[in-house]
Amino acid sequence: MKKVLASNKSIGFNYEILEKLEAGVVLLGWEVKAIKNRRTNMENAYVIIRSNQVLLKNLVLPLNSDTKFSDKSLQNRDKKLLLNKREIVKINQAVKIPGNSCVPLNIHLNEGNLIKIEIAVVRGRKKFDKRNLLKKRDIQKQINTERKKYNF
């Protein structure tokens, strides 16, 4: 049972999810506190692979008022993701395909109370794909309201 601390809700609409992975993350103490207090911004976050290391970029964690330093550059520092070599190779091959990228879906606590990040290899959706998705959701919503109306 995982407890979701932060999620990137626009991913499901803007991207088609091809593959999901769960990764550990290297954090500083104040970053753990900010995540557990649900003070994160994942909107523009993405994952890159540089020299066989997987890095999470643009995850904004605001500084607490009680932190002992005031270096604003630490808010945007790259976080190293912990994956095994086979998973890194798999992500690297998938991202090399044109149109694919890797983004974080959510940050959660696992059973051992450790902070994990769920990442996904995604492909961007076109405008007509988004319209079709909205149409399908609207039809499904109408079906569900009709079922509730007639107690199916």
Distance between CA atoms of residues 38 and 43, nearest Å: 14
Whether residue 26 is contained in a domain is answered as yes
Domain count, the chain: 1
Per the structure, the complete domain to which residue 47 belongs is given by 3-125
Q: What is the largest CA-CA distance in the chain?
A: 61
Distance between CA atoms of residues 120 and 140, nearest Å: 26
Burial class (CB in 10 A: 0-12, 13-18, 19+), 41: middle
Residue 44: give its domain's CATH number.
2.40.280.10
Whether residue 108 is contained in a domain is answered as yes
Give pLDDT, residue 66: 62
Distance between CA atoms of residues 33 and 112, nearest Å: 17
Whether residue 148 is contained in a domain is answered as no
pLDDT tens profile 104-140: 999 998 888 889 999 999 988 777 777 888 888 889 9
pLDDT tens profile 40-79: 888 888 899 988 899 999 888 877 666 665 566 666 788 8
Whether residue 98 is contained in a domain is answered as yes
Quickly list H helices, the chain: 11-14, 29-36, 85-96, 127-150
Whether residue 147 is contained in a domain is answered as no
Whether residue 113 is contained in a domain is answered as yes
